[in-house]
Amino acid sequence: MSRMYFDHAATTPMAPEVIDAVTQVMKEVFGNPSSIHQFGRQAHEYLENARQTIASSLQVKPHEIIFNSGGTEGDNTAIIETALARQNFGKHLITTAIEHPAVLNTMKYLETLGFEVTYLPVDQKGNLAVADFQKALREDTILVSIMYVNNETGNILPIPEIGAILKHHPAYFHADAVQAYGLLEINPHEIGIDLLSVSAHKFNGPKGVGFLFKTDAIQLPPFLHGGEQEEKRRAGTENLAGIVGMSQAVSLLKATDKNSKRAEFQQFQTVLLKQLEAAGIPFEINGDVEQATHHVLNLRFPGVRNDLLLMKLDLQGIAISTGSACTAGTVDPSHVLEAMYGKGNPTIKESVRISFGSDNTLAEVEELAAKLIAILTKK
């Protein structure tokens, strides 16, 4: 039985070039980047070359890249340290109801410390209204944290528009770009983003490594305390093999490739949906295909339990999901779909997430469609 993977929003397989880069560093570059002898200097050179590569991809200064363990650490660092450092200027924070748990649970934690959080709503297509953001923005707002691309619908949120508004407001602007970085060209300085979280395993890099962009225009204390790594901004010996692997994954990302990937994913969606339509399968799309990266397709099949559908596909070697990987395996419903449709809506338990990656082929998509049709038409 062949195996097919359609859960790239959860994680992606490492590219062969990334595996080679990681392996080479693990074999040959074992020095501590903070050591001053030749082994340390060699490791430090690899570290700074990786920092330069990643900074260039965002058109920012190398100094503005802080290596860490991934998106969750980046989100926690940006949000908690901003809140604690700026609470004398206000205690109001703004986010959305559809953020990743790394943001939402961090906001809930800050509420226990006396901060006030506004959770912006979205419409039934999962879109955020800029007007709602403008209404929520106050003089005592010290931080706005909004994801660039939603991990369950693939919707692109109005980050440039919000950044333009915040250029005239003292609040810091943080964007969780975990789902966006590998598919969209992002220039934080141009958009007005102060802090940006990225995780390598979402774009064919290693797990357990990522980075936080922090503009030099703002000052924040370190989240982790200890040694003087990352210019005293993030203590702990750097995961050099992971960082070099992430840098290699970044090197594989080119603007033209990002555009072609999104076009290919859109083709995958079109083929899959046309086959379902031709077979007379009733379905609904959760999200806005006109405002999306197309790597995520969230579908509702009325009357079909999503956990059973996932299980039947898994038995045939096909991997999809019912939502965020950080909540998968639990009985909790999708908070994203709840925000879109309201709690208790049947859509929530009848929807699945299909997410494409660079290793998928059109033939695989056609086979996925055939397997879906066979399962959904079986009496």
- Asked if the model's pLDDT at residue 47 lies above 90, the reply is yes
User: Phi and psi dihedrals of 212, rounded to 5?
Assistant: -115, 120
Catalytic residue, candidates 137, 235, 326, 373: 326
Amino acid at 182: G
Q: Are 197 and 78 in contact (CB under 8 A)?
A: yes
- Whether residue 326 lies in the annotated active site: yes
State how far the Cα of 287 lies from the Cα of 293, in Å rounded to an integer: 11
Instruction: Write down the residue that tokens 């333009």 correspond to.
Output: 164
Q: What is the pLDDT of residues 283-342, one digit of tens each?
A: 999 999 999 999 999 999 999 999 999 999 999 999 999 875 555 455 578 999 999 999
Beta-strand (E) ranges in 311-367?
Answer: 318-319, 351-355
Beta-strand (E) ranges in the chain?
Answer: 4-5, 65-68, 92-96, 116-120, 141-145, 172-176, 195-199, 210-214, 284-286, 296-300, 318-319, 351-355
Burial class of residue 252 in the structure, from the number of CB atoms within 10 Å of its CB (0-12 exposed, 13-18 middle, 19+ buried): middle
Q: For the chain, which domains are there?
A: 4-13+254-377 (3.90.1150.10), 16-251 (3.40.640.10)
State how far the Cα of 114 lies from the Cα of 117, in Å rounded to an integer: 10
Q: pTM of the entire structure?
A: 0.95
Q: What is the pLDDT of residues 165-183, one digit of tens each?
A: 999 999 999 999 999 999 9
Across the chain, what does the average pLDDT equal?
Answer: 96
β-pair partners for 285: 299
β-pair partners for 199: 210
- The bridge status of strand 351-355 relative to strand 296-300 is antiparallel
pLDDT (0 to 100) of residue 330: 54
